A and B are shown apart, each in its own frame.
Chain A
């Protein structure tokens, strides 16, 4: 079974803090994704990566950056957290042109 894990289920941070969200997959998938999900807005793609050190902006990359130094690990970075980044963050992975599998999610609250 595909397994995607995320570093925290719940996280509370202060405005202006630098926040790291980590995602690890164990299926040797080339593609990894970061989404945020908000009520009424659905799933929105922040960034994705199709290979180590490669990244592409999604629909809402502003305020975020990513890092993929190893194939199995994809990190989302909030350089200076703001209250409007309070959300559920979901990581997913997939093989090329294959199905995406999601991790359990991190519910981030920025105070």
Chain B
């Protein structure tokens, strides 16, 4: 069974700090990875996708991918209370699969 693992949290950080969210995956064939943010009672919203080893930056968000270690992370700089949500990591099934495998999510709480 291919899996994506995340620490459920909660991860608590003060406003202005860097939040670091981590994810490991078991399917070595996966080539595409995604981070979604989900506020309580709402549907997941895509934040970033990453396909190559290294870092990808978008505003306050940086996604990092290390395929050798099967590890994906999301850094949120200058965390804001509005960043408080559950963050879902997802990996594409196999090299060219249609479906994604989702982790169960990490809950982030940013205190002001």
**Contact string, B69-90, partner A, CB cutoff 8 A, digits 1/0?**
0000000000000000000101
Contact B88 A103 (CB under 8 A): no
Total A-B residue contacts, Cβ distance less than 8 Å: 42
CB of A25 to closest CB in B, whole Å: 13
> Is B96 at the interface (CB under 8 A from chain A)?
yes
Nearest to B105 among chain A residues (CB) is A42
Contact A100 B46 (CB under 8 A): yes
Number of B residues near A (Cβ < 8 Å) is 20
Could you say which of A11-19, A43-51, A66-74, A76-84 contacts chain B? A43-51
CB of B94 to closest CB in A, whole Å: 11
Which of chain B's residues have a CB closer than 8 A to the CB of A105? Answer: 42-43
- Residues facing B in A52-109 (CB within 8 A) are 56, 58, 90, 96-97, 99-105
Q: Report Cα–Cα, A48/B100, bound state, in Å.
A: 11
Chain B interface residues (CB < 8 Å from chain A): 32, 34, 36, 42-46, 49, 88, 90, 92, 96, 98-100, 102-105
- Contacts A56-B99, A58-B99, A105-B42 aside, 8 further interface pairs with beta carbons under 8 A come to A33-B99, A42-B102, A42-B104, A43-B88, A100-B46, A102-B36, A103-B43, A104-B43
Instruction: Give the 3 A-B CB pairs with smallest separation, nearest first.
Output: A42-B104, A102-B43, A43-B102
